[in-house]
Amino acid sequence: MKSIIITTFILTLACLPAKSQVAIGKQSVTNISVSLEFANTENRGLILPYITDKSSITEEGSIIYDTTDHKVKYLKDSGMWVNFSEDDGTVATIGTADLSIQGPDKAEKPTAKTAIGTNGATDTTNGILVLTDADKAMILPNVASPHLNIINPAPGMLVYDTTKKQLAVYNGKVWSFWKP
């Protein structure tokens, strides 16, 4: 009898629809157009993966923290990496990264992946975090004046500055603010 109850419970769970939206630090996302959303309760940001060799990354729109020159970059069309960190070529704007925050085991795990979206289970896109829905967006952590309120930011951190209404990127030395 016990095994019948357990089997029924497992089958019931297996039949539930998979959720293609994820909220981190909160109960739910704000609307149906969101794949991934973070809570606004703390002064924290999203830290990008630290990459030393970007030659195998081919997916347009990929965003990384490049440890070779300490810059946040994204992959644009034609395989061109675009600097997303403010940089005027001076030492003052080139950041540094403590690679130990990525964990004690520095070896890259090429199969490590989390996919969020309706195609998550079957998506073959290379990446650590892949949002698979073509009609949903990610909402970055919202922080008022991150340059003042995030006490010890990590290189490669991204947040949305709710005061300036801009994307804020930290390269390990300075915050850069992006506004269209």
Q: Rounded to whole angstroms, what are the CA distances from 167 to 40, 118, 132, 159?
A: 15, 27, 22, 6
The residues spanned by each domain of the chain are 2-178
pTM over 0.85: no
Alpha-carbon distance 129 to 144, whole Å? Answer: 25
Q: How many CB atoms lie within 10 A of CB 93?
A: 17
Burial (CB < 10 A; 0-12, 13-18, 19+), residue 131, is buried
- Cα angle for residues 82, 126, 14 (degrees, 5° grid): 140
**Tens of each residue's pLDDT in the chain, 180 residues:** 444 434 333 433 333 344 568 887 788 888 888 888 888 767 888 888 888 888 888 888 888 888 888 888 888 887 889 887 765 554 444 555 555 555 555 555 656 667 777 766 677 777 777 777 777 888 888 999 999 999 888 888 899 899 999 888 888 888 888 876
Look at the chain and count its residues: 180
pLDDT value at position 90?
Answer: 46
Instruction: Please name the residues in contact with 91: beta carbons below 8 A apart, sequence gap of 6 or more.
Output: none
